[in-house]
Amino acid sequence: MRSYILQRFLLMIPILIGVSLFTFFLSRMAPGDPLMHYTDPDFTQEMREEMMEKMGLNKPIYVQYISWLREALKGNLGVSLRYRSETVVHLIREKISPTIALTLTSLILAVFIAIPIGIYSAVKQYSIGDYIFTLGSFLGISVPSFFLALGLIYIFSLKLRWFPMAGMQTIGSRGGGFIDILRHLVLPVTALTLMRLAAFVRYSRGAMLEVISQDYIRTARSKGVTEKIVIFKHALRNAAIPIVTMVGMSIARLFSGALIVETVFSWPGLGKLSYEAVLQRDYPVLMGTTLLVALMVVVGNMVADITYSLIDPQIRYD
Amino acid sequence: MKKIIIITMLLSLCLMIMTTGALAQEPQYGGTLKFSMYSSPEGLWIPARGASTYDVNVNNMVYEPLIQLDKNMEPTIPRIAESWEFNDDKTKVTFKLRKDIKFHDGEPLTARDVWYTYTQIGHIDYEGTHMAYNSYLKGFDAFREDESQRGKALDYEAYMSGEEDYITGIQVINDYEIAFESTDYSSRMLADRVLGIMPYHIWKDVPIKNQHLAEELEKPIGSGPFKFEEYARDEYVLLTAYEDYYLGRPYVDELIWAIRDQEVALMELEVGELHLAEFDPNSYNLIEGFEELDVYNDLSPVYQYMGFNLQDPKLTLKTRQAMAHAIDRQGIVDSALLGFGEVVETPIVPFHWAHNPNLEGYDYNPEKAKKMLAEDGWEMGDDGVLTRDGMKFRVELLYPTGNQVRIQSAPIIQQNLAEVGIDARLNMTDWGTLLDKTERRGVPFNADQFDLVLVGLAGGVVPDQSAKYHSRNIPDGNYVGYSNEEFDKMLDDALTEPDREKAVKLYWEIQEVMSHDLPVLTLYSPNRLTAVSSSIHNVRPEAVEDNDWRAFGLVNIHEWWIED
């Protein structure tokens, strides 16, 4: 087991280098540059080239990559081209807690709501309850997230005035405290949970359905095991593997942030940071956030793999 | 008490009545003004370097400029400079500074600070976009290439003792007098003195190269109506009232900009969480039922235009003119802008002092367009598409993502052109790709890069059109490829004409030539829509703000007050 984990860790190095290589060249080859939004006619071609040189963007791409990699290995991901006074590491550190607060809360909520619903839907397949949940999850999948977010704001903030509309704290409150942040968290978390919920319900229902039709479930039932034990001990344990995979894959999304929800609710998170880095061709930030997500995908997969062996003794890594 | 305030000659009378009504109440001190902006500032609080609109919003509150533009975009409003005087051939302007201005830390503002703010522009390590603000000054070129300055900060003592020249055209006369001298007359001379003045005593030890990394940026010091308090990226910028502001302490205690999504900002206005937000016509429906806000419908210097690739053999002069008659520009204003804007016939916007109001322009007249196209040799084919010399009139209409109104205008234009037999294919790309196709740098211009392109620009304080239409700027700024020797000369003459009346005349002629030759067809200028909470008094939106007119006019921000 230990050597397996070590092996997976070592494998991360070529994967991350591959991702960085790919992202670096792809982003540099895309049309545009960090100065493309300077449309002031006074800003001449000559000045533009001078600025590019000062930012070190006029060298051949491979030279830029090598110097980026050399610094990155030392833990220095460079300085943002948009926020000139901030390093990439600082920016990511600044955005990571608001994002985790948002995404982790909604992931936990989604998992704990979705799995029971999924089980119920699978066990009571084609019941009215199943139809309602199926319809609900299709709605959840098909409603655009900005619409859902704006709808929540319209109903719960504008009309009912129960919750604040946007931001992480009350405007001008100068750090209104924990309760204030919690109140601001309610609507974005609800939006994000509803969006994730739909997919999770479908997933766990499917996983459960497949298991329930297996022979060993029929055997268990026929030898007189109570339905409760059949479902929660025999079936759920076996359906858990695809569900764990699903949750494991979601770990990366904890760190990629949630662009639309973050934008509508003005939540200062990583999703917005990386999206704006793409729009502004802020290459160093783009590299930083992409690598973080890539790292989390690899780690998430690894965690899922290790969890498999805990759930299912048949799976062993030697 | 919702009202829509339209800033026109006629209605400004009503506005006056309304504001006098408000003035009858006694202004109250206190409270927090809460504004919204749509994107986070870069945090580069250095007015001399140039940054995003969002940074300019903040800089305009924290820093005070020498002079300010009026609503016709003329630099006539005294701020730090109480007066100024030109020499006889107008190559030198001397500013007299007020003596009662102090920075937020109590240090008096003197000519030394003005010298510092402007001299850094052009330093060999300068990383900014305002190079043009100094480029015509005496000694600028020598300073710009001075290798010995690399890595250094500016040293005022060395300048005063004559050890260092820096820019010879920037001359400190005494503590409260400073002169700017150019090699030839430049009409930009005054208009470029609108940058916020930075304190030398704070920045003197910071090498120009390291400015953007300096810890001084965490809490910038200026002399404007508000002191910088705190910036939380993607959340808010917080400023507090400056007690010793020379025009009087602001009535409000704090000014905060929250970074918000547009629709959400409007809803927050309605519930009283915000006081001011700019918005697009698209969002107008949302606020129609809102009670607690006033809408200011104000002219903007932004205009949208359609550029023609002049190397394209299909797009001959008469054909371009016919296309101008074929496109229903008023229709675009009415449908895509919901009427919040106007058709413009020239890139110099209507409220600018150099605007030519007598242009005949191009009315929407498809019949006339068809006739003109026929006169220019186009024949209608069986498939409803025009043909000339065996060439079908098929073009691509290129436009960028982003601006919703512009995106909506593209199919209208396509439809209009189809009605006269021109087959336009729509092609929406991201901004980077569009620039690659139009202003492709260093690549010789050719007919295949693009046919028609929709883009927008903010009209400059200086009405000069050289960057876009002077033949020396082909293919960079002048990517449409407009080449007209006589026109080049007119541009040069207008820029160096010291006499205002003669300059206006020259600009009128320039606009006539452009309107005739149509290197581009100007489409419309959208209005700037701003929603302001009804509880705010003394709002005067007609004032043009600093060098970036996209910001709502906050020129008298110190007089704004909040009613409980």
Report the side by side order of strands in the sheet with B177-181: B81-86, B92-97, B177-181, B170-174
CB of A102 closer than 8 Å to CB of A189: yes
Query: Which pLDDT does position B447 carry in this prediction?
Result: 64
Cβ contact, residue pair A172, B441, below 8 Å: no
Instruction: Name every chain A residue with its beta carbon within 8 A of the beta carbon of B34.
Output: 171-172
Kindly list the structural domains of chain B, giving each domain's residue range(s) and its CATH number in brackets, ordered by start. 64-212 (3.90.76.10), 224-299+528-562 (3.40.190.10), 302-526 (3.10.105.10)
Query: Which pLDDT does position A302 carry in this prediction?
Result: 85
Q: Which of A48, A157, A266 to mutate: most B Cβ within 10 Å? A: A266
Lowest mean per-residue pLDDT among A280-284, A295-299, B1-5, B10-14: B10-14
Cβ contact, residue pair B236, A171, below 8 Å: yes
Chain B residues 119-138 within an 8 A CB cutoff of chain A: 125, 127, 129-132
By the CB < 8 Å criterion, does B363 face chain A? no
Q: pLDDT confidence of B24, banded at 50, 70, 90? A: low
Amino acid found at B47: P
Helix (H, G, I), strand (E, B) or coil at B218: helix
pLDDT at B153 over 80: yes
Query: Which pLDDT does position B245 carry in this prediction?
Result: 95
pLDDT at B363 over 60: yes
Lowest mean per-residue pLDDT among A65-74, A75-84, B176-185: A75-84
Query: Which pLDDT does position A176 carry in this prediction?
Result: 65
Instruction: Name every chain A residue with its beta carbon within 8 A of the beta carbon of B40.
Output: 276
Mean pLDDT of chain A: 85
- Per-residue pLDDT tens over the stretch A73-119: 888 888 888 888 888 999 999 899 899 889 889 889 988 898 889 88
A232-251: average pLDDT: 81
Query: Which pLDDT does position B240 carry in this prediction?
Result: 96
DSSP-derived letter for residue A12 is H
Amino acid found at A125: Q
Number of H helices, E strands in chain A: 13, 0
* Nearest-by-CA chain A residue for B429: A31
B523-539: average pLDDT: 89
Those residues whose C-beta lies under 8 Å from the C-beta of residue B338, and which sit 6 or more positions away, are B281, B284
- Per-residue pLDDT tens over the stretch A156-171: 988 888 998 888 888 7
Cβ contact, residue pair B236, A164, below 8 Å: no
CB of B515 closer than 8 Å to CB of B346: yes
Cα within 13 Å of Cα(A13), Cβ side: 5
Burial category of B248 from C-beta neighbours within 10 Å (exposed 0-12, middle 13-18, buried 19 and up): exposed
By the CB < 8 Å criterion, does B262 face chain A? no
Cβ contact, residue pair A37, B431, below 8 Å: yes
pLDDT at B374 over 90: yes
* Nearest-by-CA chain A residue for B253: A172
* Nearest-by-CA chain B residue for A94: B233
Helix, strand, coil share (%) of chain B residues, nearest 5: 30, 25, 50
B222-244: average pLDDT: 94
By the CB < 8 Å criterion, does B264 face chain A? yes
Cα within 13 Å of Cα(B541), Cβ side: 27
- Per-residue pLDDT tens over the stretch A28-49: 888 888 888 777 777 777 888 8
Instruction: Name every chain B residue with its beta carbon within 8 A of the beta carbon of A169.
Output: 235
Q: pLDDT confidence of A246, banded at 50, 70, 90? A: confident
Q: What number of residues does chain A have?
A: 318
- Nearest C-alpha of chain B: how many angstroms from A42? 6
Query: Which pLDDT does position A56 carry in this prediction?
Result: 83
* Bond into A144 cis (ω within 30): no
Cβ contact, residue pair A86, B457, below 8 Å: no
- Per-residue pLDDT tens over the stretch B454-513: 999 887 778 889 888 999 888 778 888 899 999 999 999 998 888 889 999 999 999 999
Those residues whose C-beta lies under 8 Å from the C-beta of residue B468, and which sit 6 or more positions away, are A41, B347, B457, B477, B478, B480
Measure the N-to-C terminal CA separation of chain B; round to a whole number of Å. 15
Q: Percentage of residues in chain A with pLDDT exceeding 90?
A: 14
Strands B423-429 and B293-298: unpaired
Q: Percentage of residues in chain B with pLDDT exceeding 70?
A: 92
A57-66: average pLDDT: 90
Query: Which pLDDT does position B16 carry in this prediction?
Result: 41
Strands B75-78 and B67-69: antiparallel
Most confidently predicted of A79-83, B9-13, B143-147: B143-147
Cβ contact, residue pair B264, A51, below 8 Å: no
B543-557: average pLDDT: 56
DSSP notation for A92-114: HHHHHHHHHHHHHHHHHHHHHHH
Q: Which of A158, A171, A280, A289 to mutate: most B Cβ within 10 Å? A: A171
Residue B43 is nearest to which of A42, A83, A166, comparing CB atoms? A83
Model pTM? 0.84
- Nearest C-alpha of chain B: how many angstroms from A32? 4
- Nearest C-alpha of chain B: how many angstroms from A303? 32
- Nearest C-alpha of chain A: how many angstroms from B96? 28
- Determine the Cα–Cα distance for residues B179 and B170; give it in Å rounded to an integer: 6
Buried/exposed B204-214: b ≥16 CB within 10 Å, e otherwise: eebbbbebbeb
By the CB < 8 Å criterion, does B517 face chain A? no
* Nearest-by-CA chain A residue for B236: A171
B510-527: average pLDDT: 95
- Per-residue pLDDT tens over the stretch A173-204: 766 688 888 889 999 999 888 888 888 888 88
- Nearest C-alpha of chain B: how many angstroms from A115? 33
CB contacts < 8 A, A to B, total 137
Cβ contact, residue pair B213, A165, below 8 Å: no
- Per-residue pLDDT tens over the stretch B281-306: 888 888 888 888 888 887 888 899 99
- Per-residue pLDDT tens over the stretch B380-413: 988 889 999 889 999 999 999 888 899 999 999 9
Cβ contact, residue pair B260, A38, below 8 Å: no
By the CB < 8 Å criterion, does B338 face chain A? no
- Nearest C-alpha of chain B: how many angstroms from A18? 26
Mean pLDDT of chain B: 87
Cβ contact, residue pair A32, B433, below 8 Å: yes
Cβ contact, residue pair A42, B132, below 8 Å: yes
